[in-house]
Structure 1
Amino acid sequence: MLRSRYALLLGLAVCTAVLAVGLVVSIHFGASRIGVMDVLRAFADHDGSRDDLIVRTIRVPRALGAALVGACLAVAGAIMQGLTRNPLADPGILGINAGAAFAVVTAVFVFGTTSLSTYALVAFVGAAVAATLVYGIGSVGRGEMGPMRLAIVGAAVAALLSSFTTAMLILSEQTLDTIRFWLAGSLLGRDLALLQQISPYVCAGLLLALALSRRITALMLGDDVATGLGQRTRLTKSLAALSVVLLAGSAVAVAGPVGFIGLVVPHAVRFVVGLDYRWILPYSAVVGGIVLLGADIVSRVALRPQEIPVGVTTALVGAPFFIYLARSRARQ
């Protein structure tokens, strides 16, 4: 485990360098073979060739989108695990991804929406409603809203919303054709215009999360301890929930409901840097981008020239890890 400030800064710099290399490798791979030097030449000497157009209009937005979505999901998962003191928490397991997906499918089913830019706004609304519903139901009844209760309520809400989503897709073949690849979690066809549209929400969510990092560390010790340290815990939780909605909504708007990044990455980061959220959040952002970039590369090359949705690849890794966490939590 890294301890000193110098070691933590050095580790973050190394992870950032790995992310940069991952971006170049992601741009390099695809259905059309383009050499690494050709990739670099597309930026240094743009001549309008076919390879330049592929790199600039298809692969660069896709690589940046993967890094952005991975960072959003990992930071959102880390915040949720800290606030709820629940190691099983992430935007997918607590129903936020399902809420955003349900809202987007409803927009397509009712209004015939096909614009990815419209998906962003609708996804935010769905994520916020799902989060409110989970926390509202979880707080009803006797006793404190414990981690396992929240996980159970989140799973139930996610299952309910997913069933409604499935019903709409069954009733409308056109809706299914429009959105089926997006529902599996995909980065295919994303452009810079979409990334520019959601970037204000992503920046706001990340900046808000980093600003709250010290407070989230205190909340992990318990509400009473945080209150004793002079914190307004209810305000902190509300602002942190807003950050999660902004980040998870942005991620779903770009790539669809990609699961398990928000679950796996914060645990891996916490093992290295400890329990201080001033380091957990920036590390989660960088490592989340690396993990999703790697998953997207595997999705493209595993069955070339066909492509596997990136959500399938992350599930293959994340599902066993979730089972391990659930079993270890049950033993405790």
Structure 2
Amino acid sequence: MNLLLLLLLLLFFLNLSNRMDPALLRERELFKKRALSTPTVEKRQAASDSGSHKKKKPKVDKESSSSSKLSSESNGSFNIKTSSGYKFGCLAKIVNYMKTRHQNGDTHFLTLDEILDETKLLDISMKQKQWLMNEALVSNPKIEVRDGTYGFKPKYNLKDKKALLRLLDKHDQLGLGGVLLEDVEEGLPNSAKAIKALGDQIIFVTRPDKKKILFYNDKHCQFAVDEEFQKLWRSVPVDSIDEDKIEEYLKKQGISSMQETGPKKVLPIQKRKKPAGQRKRNFKTHNNHLAGLLEDYSDGVPVKK
């Protein structure tokens, strides 16, 4: 732009040269000499251009650094997938899925590829797949392996409501107590429907920890007792009788009482208090070789003989 201005000025002065007086012509010549002697405008532009080029170089470096950051972030996400936490998370997802499908009635076994496909775990590495196949699923107590296929392994494998009733009856006859509801729900497909169909053949008992237990309701043990016997039973006072005497009486009649199987409380040992009169303490004398020289001052100063 500065060069164009100079050229325009020169042309302007050239056009006016024919009309100027000699004084103006001399000033024009002097102006030309000064303009030609100080051509510094182009150098400053070149310097500014070189400076701008230098400033542009760091921008390229920033782009490369940002790309390196993205690559490092991508590497970080890849490392998360290869970590042990991600590995065991995949195992937990597989076990929960196998449990859910078993509860819904899908009890047929699946291959590992079918499991990974249905759980949408297709992005795991070959190393993790080998770990699932050779270690994790084989050693898991809730997974059963059969000819290279995998299925859910509940505590009680129940097919229908009749199998549940047989299980509760067996526990009742052997004195094993009841069965946890969560174990029944785990092993019996559509357990809520089966339990509802059994009706009053099952008794529910809720433990202090809010867990429910199922018992077999043996109706053969339900019989009517005559009211006269009930009155006689209630008229016998046993509040003042010691439990040891009751147990002794039952043994004489040939009846064994149920012993307590829970942990027994250990009573703290009480220390025996010494009587207040005994304040003297017997000290042992170790200076036996001075037996004839020592004197007893417990009763006062001894009288000289």
Structure richer in helix, relative to its length: 1
Structure with the higher fraction of residues in strand conformation:
2
Larger radius of gyration between Structure 1 and Structure 2: 2
TM-score range, shorter chain: under 0.3
How does the TM-score come out when normalised to structure 2? Answer: 0.20
Relative contact order higher in (CA < 8 Å, ≥ 6 apart): 1
